[in-house]
Copies of this chain bind each other. A is one copy, B any other.
Amino acid sequence: MVFMERVRPFSQVLERLRSVGLRPTRQRMALAKLLFDGDDRHVTAEMLHSEAVKSRVRVSLATVYNTLHQFTDAGLLREVVVDIGRSYFDTNIKDHHHFFHEQTKQLEDIADDRIEIGALPPPPAGTEVSRVDVIVRVRENNN
């Protein structure tokens, strides 16, 4: 039972895919397990692909890209833009913000309630807010 909490049971991943209308193919199941088992994470397509290859999952990079976008469209992932030419996908889909480590290019969550944004100005006429991203860029300090 303790074990079952730790490794997300097969049927749960399967159910998650079914619930958003995606066929539970071998590739999607494997990628979903890598993404959603365990703690929240921030991955790029390349990272997830090489991780898949390492764990002997046969999947192409193109399929990893497709899958990440399908998961994002389905609301299972959130895309985060912090660095030119590189897309991060965050398994944490709750409202929250990020530290971005400029040197290591690592993303780190900030719990939403740690940042207060008071008095957001009204969006330009004819538009509505789709999302507010706060990126706290950090760098190694010299201590």
Contacts and interface: CB of A to CB of B under 8 A. Distances in A.
Total copies of the chain: 2
B120 A115 contact: yes
Task: Label chain A's interface by main secondary structure.
Answer: strand
Contacts of A119: 114-116
A114 B110 contact: no
Contacts of A110: 121
Interface in A84-140: 84-87, 99, 101-102, 108, 110-111, 114-121, 123-124, 126-140
Contacts of A132: 134-137
A128 B99 CA distance: 11
Contacts of A127: 99, 101, 138-141
Nearest to A104: B127
Nearest to A118: B116
B130 A138 contact: yes
A111 B108 CA distance: 27
Query: Considering the complex of A and B, which 6 residue pairs feature the smallest CB-CB distances, nearest first?
Result: A116-B118, A127-B138, A128-B141, A114-B121, A133-B135, A131-B137
Given A99-B123, A110-B121, A126-B143, 7 more contacts: A81-B82, A81-B83, A99-B127, A115-B118, A120-B136, A133-B133, A133-B134
22 contacts: A81-B82, A81-B83, A84-B86, A85-B85, A101-B124, A102-B130, A114-B119, A115-B118, A115-B120, A116-B118, A117-B134, A124-B138, A128-B138, A128-B141, A129-B137, A129-B138, A130-B139, A131-B136, A133-B134, A133-B135, A133-B137, A134-B135
